[in-house]
């Protein structure tokens, strides 16, 4: 490898981010593949949200690509853009290794009690219906920065999830078989009674493609706000109330899975940039010992401790750095192959 620099390709549900990451974890953002100097790149790491049963970082082979394609029906907002970005990256950099790093990998430690749905055996054993969990790269970085034994990470952005982390390992999370489950998001519904969905299909009120589109693109903050905007800054009072209620409730459930709470982290777009949302969630969690300092919360930029004086739980803002975790995983895989 020239100097160990990895190009990280992060095709999210709302953006495409490219970073050159050095072995020292210095990251340089790039606007497009046209800005990449091939001589600088030793490998390409692709953040992939859902790989089905694939969890560990893997070279992009035909079998791995087929698994990502097969899982696209479960994560259409993520896997399809990722596959398009893979095609573009391979065309731009055909001579270097390309590695898939899966968002589900960090959640492989979730115990059976948290990962198992109460559904028939054939669903679980033959069809792979289980909780996978997502946002793993983001949660792993937050856990490394927070260094708390009992930690809850609120990844609040285009997609939102709440994860319980015990001694650095994921033990429960709100997203499940797909990134649709859990708390409401900008355009995704989060958890909805399956009976309501069956009713809409049974009565012919919606066809399956329309149901999928509306759950993925027209729900969440967008579905609850005038004009259908998923932007937290334009959200209606009801949308904010629902969002705060569900997120705070999910944090409480995560604390129960941990047997208590030592630290709470806010990360990703909303988590990092919306002091009002953080304050409202924290207020709902005062019973757990969460309290934020108003001035520190309002001034938080990048990594910051916003804990209130005397609070028994540390509250932190952590800037998401998924690219660093992905680059490390790619280097580790390629180094292991040469041993």
pLDDT at 227: 81
pLDDT at 12: 67
CB 109 within 8 A of CB 133: no
Concatenate the DSSP letters of all residues of 72-128 into one string. Answer: GGTSHHHHHHHHHHHHHHHHH-TTS-EEEEETTGGGGG--HHHH--SS-HHHHHTS-
- Length, in residues, of the chain: 339
**In whole angstroms, what is the distance from residue 64 CA to residue 123 CA?**
23
pLDDT at 15: 72
- For the stretch 207-254, pLDDT in tens is 999 999 999 999 999 999 988 788 999 999 999 999 999 999 999 999
pLDDT at 14: 62
For the ranges 75-84, 152-161, 281-290, the lowest mean pLDDT is seen at 75-84
| Residue 47: its H or E element | strand 43-48
For the ranges 33-37, 128-132, 137-141, 304-308, the lowest mean pLDDT is seen at 33-37
- For the stretch 20-49, pLDDT in tens is 999 999 999 998 888 888 888 999 999 998
pLDDT at 13: 60
339 pLDDT above the threshold of 80 = no
pLDDT at 1: 43
The dotted CATH code for 6-109+323-338 is 3.30.420.40
Average per-residue pLDDT in the chain?
Answer: 93
Longest Cα–Cα distance of the chain, Å, equals 61
List phi, psi (to 5°) of 243.
Answer: -60, -50
Name the active-site residue from 26, 35, 63, 103. 103
Q: Which residue has the higher pLDDT, 51 or 292?
A: 292
The residue ranges of every structural domain in the chain are: 6-109+323-338, 147-317
- For the stretch 147-205, pLDDT in tens is 999 999 999 999 999 999 999 999 999 999 999 999 999 999 999 999 999 999 999 99
Arithmetic mean of pLDDT, 14-23: 86
Claim: this prediction has a pTM higher than 0.85: yes
Specify the CATH number for 147-317; select among 2.40.37.10, 1.10.10.10, 3.40.640.10, 3.30.420.40: 3.30.420.40
Same fold, 6-109+323-338 and 147-317: yes
Taking the mean position of all CA atoms in its chain, how far away is CA 62? 25
2 pLDDT above the threshold of 60 = no
Q: Is 103 a catalytic residue?
A: yes
pLDDT at 108: 94
Name the percent of the chain lying above pLDDT 70: 98
């Amino acid at each position: 490898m020239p100097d160990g620099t990895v190009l990280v390709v992060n095709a999210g549900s709302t953006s495409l981010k490219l970073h050159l990451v050095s072995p020292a974890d210095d990251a340089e953002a790039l606007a497009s593949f046209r800005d990449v100097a091939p001589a600088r790149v030793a490998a390409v790491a692709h953040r992939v949200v859902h790989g089905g049963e694939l969890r560990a970082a893997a070279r992009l082979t035909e079998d791995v690509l087929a698994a990502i394609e097969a899982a696209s029906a479960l994560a259409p907002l993520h896997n399809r853009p990722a596959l398009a970005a893979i095609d573009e990256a391979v065309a731009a950099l055909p001579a270097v290794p390309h590695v898939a790093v899966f968002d589900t990998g960090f959640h492989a430690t979730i115990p059976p009690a948290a990962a198992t749905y109460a559904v028939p055996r054939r669903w679980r054993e033959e069809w792979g219906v289980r909780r996978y969990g997502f946002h793993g790269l983001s949660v792993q970085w937050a856990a490394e920065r927070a260094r708390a034994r009992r930690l809850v990470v609120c990844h609040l952005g285009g997609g939102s999830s709440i994860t319980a982390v015990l001694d650095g390992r994921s033990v429960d999370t709100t997203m499940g078989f797909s990134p649709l489950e859990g708390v409401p998001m900008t355009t995704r519904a989060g958890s909805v009674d399956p009976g309501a969905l069956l009713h809409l299909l049974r009565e012919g009120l919606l066809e399956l493609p329309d149901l999928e589109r509306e759950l993925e693109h027209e729900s969440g903050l967008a579905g609850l706000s005038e004009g259908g905007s998923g932007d937290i800054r334009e959200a209606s009072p009801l949308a904010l109330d629902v969002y705060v209620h569900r997120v705070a409730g999910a944090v409480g459930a995560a604390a129960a899975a941990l047997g208590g709470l030592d630290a709470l982290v806010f990360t990703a777009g909303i988590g990092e940039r919306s002091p009002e949302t953080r304050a409202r969630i924290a207020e709902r969690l005062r019973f757990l010992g969460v309290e934020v300092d108003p001035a520190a919360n309002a001034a938080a930029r990048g990594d910051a401790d916003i804990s209130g004086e005397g609070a028994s739980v540390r509250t932190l803002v952590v800037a998401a750095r998924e690219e660093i975790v992905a680059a490390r995983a790619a280097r580790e895989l390629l180094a292991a192959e040469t041993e």
